[in-house]
Amino acid sequence: MAACLRPLTESAVRTPRLLVICVLLLLSAILFRWQCNTSPSNWTSHSGYQSNHQLPCLIQRVLSDRGANLLHSWTDDELFQRSITASMSFEKKFTSGKMNDSSLDKILAPANSAVPNAKNSALLQNIQDYIQADRIDCLELTESGRGKPKLAFLFLTTNSKLPFASLWNLFFKGNENLYSIYIHSDPLLLNQQNRNIGAFWGRFIPSGQTQHGTASLIQATRRLFANALLDDPLNEYFALVSEHCIPLYSFKYIYSKITASNQSFLQMDNNWPYLQSRYDVRGKDAMLPEVPFSEFRMGSQFFVLMKKHALMFVKDHKYWNKFKLPCFDVGACYPEEHYFPTMLHMEDPKGSTGYTLTYINWNEAQYGPHPKSYKREEINLALIASFRSKESGRFLFARKFDDDCLPELLNLASVIFGR
């Protein structure tokens, strides 16, 4: 026996790091087993519903919040329909006081298609079956009977880079129950290292390619809305940002400002000098009769929506069928800047403040249709203060910033997030 153990002992001595890892893994297994045996109430709803699913506690506690809900291969139409049905079911639960759990399972069960390029896809589908069926019944509810609203951050990226992930992690830290994250990236340009960065781990949604001059950015945004609506029924506000956006205040300050509003924050301008050419870019009468020029609007593609408006865009067919039409002049085609403000203006004209919360410097645009991108040497507290002071202090976010601005922004983080 001693002879058998001697090689293992000698190996452990030679590699003390391996021994430490083994001990930590053993302690972790004991801890999770104790939690499962002593805290089953964590997976029981306030209504008394106890899950019949018997997945291991480790899977329940970890995978439910780290992206298992986003492992699907649904078409956009199927995704949109599921998110609509799930949202309506959640609202019904709190208006009628009850919900048929078997019907909810049927609504949210994954499609028959397997998860593409995933190992053990049957297991992943089973995990998703469990989580989707129990998601609504495992909410931590407030005294009002509804969970505390979450602010969903929707990162619309043109690739898969998250250059300011470290800054956003500091911003999110300590507020884990008040936010959700969803990332849309180019599926052909996935940067795997970004999948393991703090709060962003496991938050990439099944994405499609985007291209300027087409309606693909509209569809990518709607896809973000749908995944967020389906993933967590407590997502009540939706902030669309890019990989080059930064927050200008602390999380608590931004959260309180947004959630205190009964309106969305979406710019809806009708006095832009090139509005007519943007309207005619698909053909002079192509938008008629659904969208007359008098109702055509323009706004920043980065905005914050209330849940009812996010759901409205996911439900839409009428306006989408017009804005997805190809443009004759791709250089003048920016449908993502018109679809959202036009539809919200026509469907709920008083539903938005009429302005965006993201500052963008178009006065110093450097080339073509792109705004100024701030460089590392320009980053200081005076610049942040100038963003905060513009437009009566309404801006909560700002863009764009070059990737190498991160060190300077991190140096200012304690001051920026101090409020």
- Where does residue 74 fall: left (phi above 0), alpha (psi -120 to 50 degrees), or beta otherwise? beta
Mean pLDDT of 324-343: 94
The token pair that represents 127 in the structure block:
């995990």
How far apart (Å, rounded) are the C-alpha atoms in residues 237 and 308?
Answer: 9
Instruction: Show me where the domains of the chain are located.
Output: 63-138, 150-355
Greater model confidence, 261 or 127: 261
* In contact, 12 and 18? CB cutoff 8 Å: yes
The token pair that represents 348 in the structure block:
């709920």
* pLDDT value for 370: 81
Residues 114, 117, 122: CA angle, nearest 5 degrees: 40
Lowest mean pLDDT among 24-28, 61-65, 289-293: 61-65
* pLDDT value for 287: 97
Greater model confidence, 406 or 197: 406
Half-sphere exposure of 373 (CA within 13 A, CB side): 13
Bond into 400 cis (ω within 30): yes
Residue 244: strand, helix, or coil: coil
Confidence of residue 163 (pLDDT cuts 50, 70, 90): very high
> E-assigned strands of 50-163?
150-156
Mean pLDDT of 177-183: 95
To the nearest whole number, what is the mean pLDDT of the chain?
78
* pLDDT value for 349: 95
Mean pLDDT of 116-133: 42
* pLDDT value for 27: 63
The token pair that represents 404 in the structure block:
């190498």
What are residue 235's DSSP bridge partners?
150
Residue 408 DSSP class: H
* In contact, 242 and 400? CB cutoff 8 Å: yes
What is the strand order of the sheet 358-360 is part of?
246-247, 397-399, 358-360
* pLDDT value for 251: 98
Lowest mean pLDDT among 67-81, 92-106, 288-302, 321-335: 92-106
* pLDDT value for 134: 42
How far apart (Å, rounded) are the C-alpha atoms in residues 391 and 388?
Answer: 8
Length of the chain: 419
pLDDT at 62 over 50: no
What are residue 269's DSSP bridge partners?
298
How far apart (Å, rounded) are the C-alpha atoms in residues 164 and 156?
Answer: 14
Number of C-beta neighbours around residue 372 at 10 A: 16
Number of C-beta neighbours around residue 135 at 10 A: 20
* pLDDT value for 56: 39
* pLDDT value for 88: 86
Beta-strand relationship, 150-156 and 179-184: parallel
Greater model confidence, 94 or 1: 94
Query: pLDDT, tens digit, for every residue of 291-333?
Result: 999 999 999 999 999 999 999 999 999 999 999 999 998 888 9
Q: Side chain identity at 235, as an amino acid letter?
A: N
Closest CA to 67 of 196, 243, 237, 238: 196
Confidence of residue 71 (pLDDT cuts 50, 70, 90): confident
The token pair that represents 47 in the structure block:
């209504």
How far apart (Å, rounded) are the C-alpha atoms in residues 309 and 292?
Answer: 21
Query: pLDDT, tens digit, for every residue of 218-227?
Result: 999 999 999 9
What phi and psi values does residue 306 have, to the nearest 5 degrees? Answer: -75, 165
pLDDT at 61 over 50: no
Confidence of residue 36 (pLDDT cuts 50, 70, 90): very low
Lowest mean pLDDT among 116-125, 139-148, 181-190, 395-404: 116-125
Q: Say what percent of the chain tops pLDDT 70.
A: 68
Fold for 150-355, please state it: Spore Coat Polysaccharide Biosynthesis Protein SpsA; Chain A (3.90.550)
